[in-house]
Amino acid sequence: MKYNFLGTTGIKVSELCLGTMTFGGNTGIWSAIGNLEQQEVDNIIKRSVDAGINFIDTANVYSQGLSEELTGKTIRNLGLKRDDLVIATKVRGKMGEGVNDIGLSRKHIMQQVDESLKRLNIDYIDLYQIHASMH
């Protein structure tokens, strides 16, 4: 596996990043995108890490947080060392019915970083991104 620096952070990430949008798929559009369950998620992440991938990308909206939960559980199931992984997640999408449960307000960002940390069951996020399309 080849590794490159993530911008000017000094962190080295694998050239391949494992995306987790297909993890969960419990409702709505997510069921059409993918509905991988825990055992399948464990197998995919194990194969990826064994191949040298250290960069895992998820998002709070993927299956309304289930993708983050499955990813975090796999890290524990496999006994992976947190410091060996670079975990990225995203914020912006609708995560509830309240008027402030969407967007890029400080309130929503701070609430969602806390919720993502809980779902992933980790102490820190390496890369926190704005989830936006380019059109």
Q: Which domain holds residue 39?
A: 3-130
Instruction: List pLDDT tens digits, range 36-74.
Output: 999 999 999 999 999 999 999 999 999 999 999 999 999
CATH code for the domain in which residue 20 is found: 3.20.20.100
- Span 72-87, mean pLDDT? 98
Interatomic CA distance for residues 44 and 46, integer angstroms: 5
The set of catalytic residues is: 62
- Whether 61 is covered by a domain: the verdict is yes
- Span 82-97, mean pLDDT? 97
- CA end-to-end span of the chain: 33
Instruction: List pLDDT tens digits, range 120-135.
Output: 999 999 999 999 865 4
Q: Name the pTM for this structure.
A: 0.95
- Whether 64 is covered by a domain: the verdict is yes
pLDDT level of residue 27 (50, 70, 90 thresholds):
confident
- Whether 102 is covered by a domain: the verdict is yes
As for how many domains the chain has, the answer is: 1
- Whether 135 is covered by a domain: the verdict is no
- Whether 121 is covered by a domain: the verdict is yes
Q: What percent of the chain stands above pLDDT 90?
A: 94
Average per-residue pLDDT in the chain? 96
- Whether 25 is covered by a domain: the verdict is yes
List b or e across 113-122, with b for residues whose CB sees 16 or more CB atoms inside 10 angstroms: bebbbebbeb
